[in-house]
Structure 1
Amino acid sequence: MTVDEKRKLELKTMYQIIGIYCHNKHHTSKGHLCEDCEHVWEYAEHRINACPHMESKTFCSVCKTHCYEPTYREKIREIMRYGGPRMLLVSPIQVIKHIYLEWKDKKRG
């Protein structure tokens, strides 16, 4: 997988998870984010696009560098804890790949 493909996959996954969270918690229509979640998405998109480790890392959750400011880091954790498990209903193959890559990285480290 190329660096661009990894970045696109990470962006897609993050947007989907934020979308799940926003739809269920803030009652927005599917495919739309409320103003607060839109700000979180823009911040996450910027951080993912600026990631200096994209070539060698799998996902932000297993990265050695914390790019997110503490307030955003906590909000992203909250969103990921809620939306991550629900991704099984939206994109089960993507979730399985994520779990496998995280497991593989932990085994290597």
Structure 2
Amino acid sequence: MTEEKFQKEILTLEKFFVKFCEDKHENRYAKIYNLEYKEFSIEKKIILCEDCHNTISYSFDRLKGCPHEIKPKCRQCPNPCYEKTKWKSLAKIMRYSGLRLGLINIKKKLKIKF
């Protein structure tokens, strides 16, 4: 996977986890992640609860270890690297946040047109 794709995937995970955790959990705290991939390095400060930090950290590790040169969507991957329980947890977060973030984008577009 390209460094640009890696960065895009990291930003997507961050956006989805932050939305989910803000809506569902308390006791959030900031944690700094230093993520390296090939020649690329990125530092992210993310505010989540303990469970969400554990899950996003696991997701970052899976992403860094993705063996595909052209990364497929995880749900369409022929050789998934997520454990089933972790995958179910991530799918729940992605489903919840995806719907809400999509609705936020629609609301923004409607306000601009009127």
Superposition TM-score, scaled by structure 2 size: 0.68
| Alpha-carbon distance, 1:19 to partner | 0.9
Structure 2, unmatched stretches of 5+, are 31-46, 107-114
Tell me, yes or no, if structure 1 residue 88 matches structure 2 residue 102: yes
State the one-letter code of the partner of 2:87. Answer: R
Distance 1:60 1:89, change over 3 A: same
Between Structure 1 and Structure 2, which shows a larger proportion of helix residues?
Answer: 1
Between Structure 1 and Structure 2, which shows a larger proportion of strand residues?
Answer: 2
Q: How many residue pairs get matched? A: 90
Q: Deviations over 1:51-76 (max 9, x none)?
A: 011x2234222222211111101100
Aligned equivalents of 2:50, 2:86: Cα separation in 1: 15
| Residue in 1 that maps onto 2:73 | 59
Greater gyration radius:
2
Q: Alpha carbon RMSD of aligned pairs, Å?
A: 2.4
Distance 1:62 1:91, change over 3 A: farther
- The sequence identity of aligned pairs, in percent, is 36
8 Å CA contact 1:22–1:28 kept in 2: the answer is no
Distance 1:89 1:60, change over 3 A: same
Superposition TM-score, scaled by structure 1 size: 0.71
